[in-house]
Amino acid sequence: MDKNNRWQEIEKGLQFIQSTLPYPGSQKEYEAFLQDLVRNLYDDGNDKFRGGNWKDALDQYTEALNVADYASSEDISIVDGVKEKLYTNRASCYLNIGHYNQVLEDCDKALQLNHNNYRALYRKARALKELGRHKEAYNVIAKCSLGVPQDDGVMKLTQELAQILGLKIRKAYIRAQVNSTPLTSGTPSLYPSILSISLSVFKFLFSNNANLGIIGQNESAFLRGTETGANILPTQLPCHPLSDTHEFKQACHLCFKTEHKCKKDILICRLKNSEDRSWKKIRPRPTKNQYVGPYYICKDVAAGEECRYPGHCTFAYCQEEIDIWTLERKGAFNRELLFDPFGSSGKVNLTVAKLLQEHHGIFMFLCEICFDNKPRMINKRNKDNPECCSNPDAKHIFDHNKCLVHILRETTVKYSKIHHLDDTRQLDLCCHEVRFGCIKEDNCFYAHSLIELKVWIMQLQTNISHEAITQESKKYLQSMEASSQGGQIPPGTVKSGSLNLNLKFVCAHCHRNGQFSEPDKNRKYCSAKASHPWTKERRVLLVMSNERKKWTTIRPLPSKKPIPQQFDLCMNIAKGKKCQYTGNCFFAHSHEEKEMWTYMKDINIQDMEQLYEMWLKRQEPEREEAACAPKENGKQIHMPTDYADLMTGYHCWLCGKNSNSEIQWQRHITAEKHKEKVFSCEDDQNCWQHRFPTGQFSICERHLKGTCVDGENCHFAHSKAEMQEWMDRREVLKQKLAKARKDHLIAPNDNDFGKFDFLIKDLN
C-alpha cells in the first residue's frame, strides 16, 4: 500500500472509531479492521521517522498505542509483540528529541512484554547515561552486552560507562573452537555477521508481508535492524571479504551521477581509507576469455584517456574493479548477494539449469566418508558393484554415505560439497572458508561456497531434494548436447550443412617447430620425445578441407566484441597480404577458419575447450576407472597431479588438483608450489596494506627520527600500524598452517616453508 492510500485508510479508520456507528461486518472483520489500523499507523510512523520527523513519528506511534488500548476495551487483542515494538520505537523518538524520562517509561513497558528486548535495553541505558545515572546505565547495558556481545554500539556504550565509573576496560575472550582468528583493528573482520538470518526467518518472509521496521539513528547495525522479519536485512550486509576496505551502493546509470529514484541496476564502490572519495562504477567481470592471471588497469584509462574499446574492454578501469573481479573469479564474492541474499529485485526464482548456466559444472553424488577423509579422496559409485563406492580398499555403502557435490573443471578441479538444508543454516558465506578454510567444517552454519548458498536458497523456495538436483543436472547436460544438433563431432570429420572438414588437435609447442604431435594414449603429454604437457593452453586446432589438402590453424572465436551474424574474410588475407593485426583481428584468416567459426557459432560452442571435449568424447569412448589405476610396482608415476583422473584418488582442495596414488600425493604436498599456496591466497592483496614482514618484529628507531635511508628495504617496521599488521599476518598464517596440518596437506615431518619460515618457526 502506498503512502497516500495508507493515509486515507488511517483517516477513515480513525473517523469511524470516533463515531458510535456499528461496524458493517462480522466480529472477525472488525478485529481485522482494528489490527490493520494499528499496523497502518505503525508503518506511517516508520516512514516519518526515516525522514527525521521525530515529533510526527511519535504522534503516530502514540495514536497506534491508543487504538490498541481501545481495541482491548472492545475485547479485541493486539499481539504483544506489536505493542512491544511500538513502545520501543516511540522510545527511540523520545531519545532523539531529548525526553529521557519518557524513554525510560516506554522501555520499561517494552521490557515488561519482553525482558530480552535488547533494543529497549540499549535505549534505556542511553537515556540513563544522559540523565547522569551512570551506575544504573551500566547495569542495563551489561545485560544487553551479554545478549549481543559483538555489537559495535553496545560495546562502545559499555566502554564509555566503564570509563566514567573507573572500571577496567577489557577485551572479550574468543573461544578458539568457535572463532579461531582474533578480531583486530588492522585486519578485516573474520567473524560471521551477527545479522545472518536463519532459515526459519526466511520461511516467515515467504508467508508474511509484515513491515513493522524502524531505523534508529546513532545505533549500530544490529540495533538499526527492523523489528520484524519482513525488513530484517540491513541496507548493507557487513560480512563479505571487502567489508573493511570498500564501501558499496546500489545505483543505476542515471543516479550514478545525479540523485533520483534509483533502479539499483549497477554497482558502485569506493575505498574507505582513500583520499579519492568518488564512487566508481563496477562493471561485470569479463568472462568470454579464459584469462586466469591477475587483472590490470586499462592503459588508456591509466593515461587519463577514454578507453578505445568501451563495452568490450577486458581490462579494469580502477583498483576497485580489480579487487572485486579477483574475488568474483575465486567465488568468494557475489554482487547479487552483497546487499540482500535475494538480490536487489526481491525474490529470485532459482533452478538447477540457471545455477549451471552461471556456475557451469555438474551436480552429482560422491562418497561422503571418502570426501571427508584426511586427505580428501574422491570416489563415486562403483560401476561394477553399485552398492559400494569406488574406493577399492574401503568399499563404503554408497547410498548410506553419499553427499551432493558440485564439480567444476576449469584450469583445476573444484569440488563444492552441498550440505543438507535445515533450520540451523545461515544464508551467508562463511568468511573463514574464504580465507584459509573453516575449522568447523560440517558443523558450520554458514555456506562454504557461493554455489552451496544458492542451492540452499533454491531449496528454500522449491523444496527440491538432492536426488532431484542430480536428475535435473543430468537433464540439463543432455539438453545441452541435444542443442548441439546431436553435435558430437565424428572422429576426424565435422559436418554441418555444407561444412566438411577434417580436424585434429596437436601440441602447440611442437607446432611452432613445424611438428604435428598428437597426444599420447593417456592424453597427459604429447607424443613427441619432449613429452610436453597436454593442457588446453598447449593445444592447437588444425583443419583440412577436401578441396585444399593442407592443414590450417584455427584461432579461437573472437571474444572482444559480440559474435557477428556471419564471419567475413580479412581484407589483407583476401588480397594475399599478411594481416597487420595478427592475434587481434576479428576477421577470418582462411576459408577453413571462416567455416569452422560459423559452425562453432551455429552449435553454440564458445571456446576451443568445448570443441575439444566434444571431439574427445566421440574420438575415444569413456574409459573404465580400473584402466586409469596407475601401476606402482617401481614404474614411473606420471606427474604433475593436474591431469589425474577426475573421479578417483586424493584431492587437494587448496590447489584443486587430483592424485591417482599415494606416491603422487606425497610428491604434490612436498612441492614448493603447493606449499606457497598453503600460506598465500588470491584475496591477500585485499587484506594487507603494508610490506611483507622482513623478519624484525620491532619499529625502526631511525625511521622515527627521520634518518632511515633504507626505505622499503628496511628490515624493521616503519609504523605501529605496519607492526600490528605483521603480527596479524602471523596469526593468519597460524590458522592456515593448522588447517593444512589437519587436512594432511602438509607432510608431518615437513617444516620447510621457504620465505614463510621466519614467520611461523615458533608457531609449529
DSSP code string of 528-548 = STT--B--GGGEEEEEEESSS
Is residue 705 situated within a structural domain? yes
Name the domain boundary from 337, 360, 395: 337
> What is the C-alpha to C-alpha distance for residues 434 and 668, in angstroms, rounded to an integer?
22
Q: Percent of the chain, pLDDT > 70? A: 74
- At 584-602, the pLDDT tens digits run 777 888 888 888 888 887 7
Most confident of 341-345, 386-390, 756-760: 386-390
Residues 92-121 have pLDDT tens digits of: 999 988 888 999 999 999 999 988 888 899
Of 149 and 89, which is predicted with more confidence? 89
| Predicted confidence (pLDDT) at residue 485 exceeds the cutoff of 50 | no
- Residue 20, CA distances (Å) to 16, 28, 347 in order: 8, 19, 44
Question: What does the mean pLDDT of the chain come to?
Answer: 75
Mean pLDDT of 198-217: 40
| Higher pLDDT pick, 563 / 14 | 14
pLDDT of residue 88: 92
Q: What is the pTM of this model?
A: 0.45
Rounded to whole angstroms, the Cα distance separating 693 from 690 reads: 9
737 closest CA partner among 679, 676, 686: 679
Same domain, 9 and 156: yes
- Given a cut of 80, whether residue 345 has pLDDT beyond it is no
pLDDT higher than 80, residue 331: no
Residues 592 and 533 grouped into a single domain: yes
Last residue of a domain, one of 597, 616, 635: 616
Same domain (yes/no): 11, 160: yes
223 within a domain of the structure (yes/no): no
Range of weakest confidence among 119-128, 197-206, 440-449, 545-554:
197-206
User: What is the structure's pLDDT at 289?
Assistant: 62
Residues 522, 569, single domain; the answer is yes
398 and 322 in one domain?
A: no
Residue 392 belongs to domain spanning: 352-481
Contacts of 175 (CB under 8 A, 6+ apart): none
Cα dihedral 431, 432, 436, 437 sign:
negative
In a domain, 233, yes or no: no
- Residue 685 — pLDDT band, cuts 50, 70, 90? very low
The answer to the question of residue 386 being in a domain is yes
Residue 567 DSSP class: -
Asked if residue 229 is part of any domain, the answer here is no
Q: Is the pLDDT of residue 217 over 50?
A: no
pLDDT tens-place string over residues 431-457: 777 656 677 788 888 888 888 888 998
Residue 180 has pLDDT above 50, yes or no: no
Name the nearest CA neighbour of 141 among 165, 106, 105, 112.
Answer: 165
- Average pLDDT value for residue range 356-364: 85
Reported as a pLDDT band with limits 50, 70 and 90, residue 688 is: low
| Pair (692, 751) in one structural domain | yes
Task: Categorize the per-residue pLDDT at 261 as very low, low, confident or very high, splitting at 50, 70 and 90.
Answer: low
* CA torsion through residues 741, 744, 745, 749, sign: positive
403, 471: one domain: yes
Q: Could you read off the pLDDT of 55-102 as tens digits, one per residue?
A: 888 999 999 999 988 888 888 888 888 889 899 999 999 998 888 899
- Domain boundary (481, 515, 548) is at 481
Residues 463 and 588 in one domain: no
Tell whether 79 and 109 lie within a shared domain: yes
Look at residue 628 in the predicted model and tell me its pLDDT.
40
Answer yes or no: is 709 within a domain.
yes
Number of domains in the chain: 5
Measured from the Cβ of residue 90, the count of other Cβ atoms closer than 10 Å reads 28
- Taking only the tens place, the pLDDT of each residue in 225-254 is 444 333 333 333 345 667 667 777 777 666
Say how far apart CA 530 and CA 513 lie, in whole Å: 12
User: For residue range 392-416, what is the model confidence (pLDDT) as tens digits?
Assistant: 888 888 888 899 999 887 656 788 8
Residues 368, 515 within the same domain: no
How many CA atoms, within 13 angstroms, populate the side-chain half-sphere of residue 236? 14
Predicted confidence (pLDDT) per residue in 690-722, tens digit: 777 776 778 888 777 777 877 777 878 888 888
Residues 269-282 have a mean pLDDT of 83
Residue 41 lies in a domain: yes
Amino acid at 91: A
Residue 145 and residue 289 in one domain: no
17 and 129 in one domain? yes
* DSSP code at position 414: E
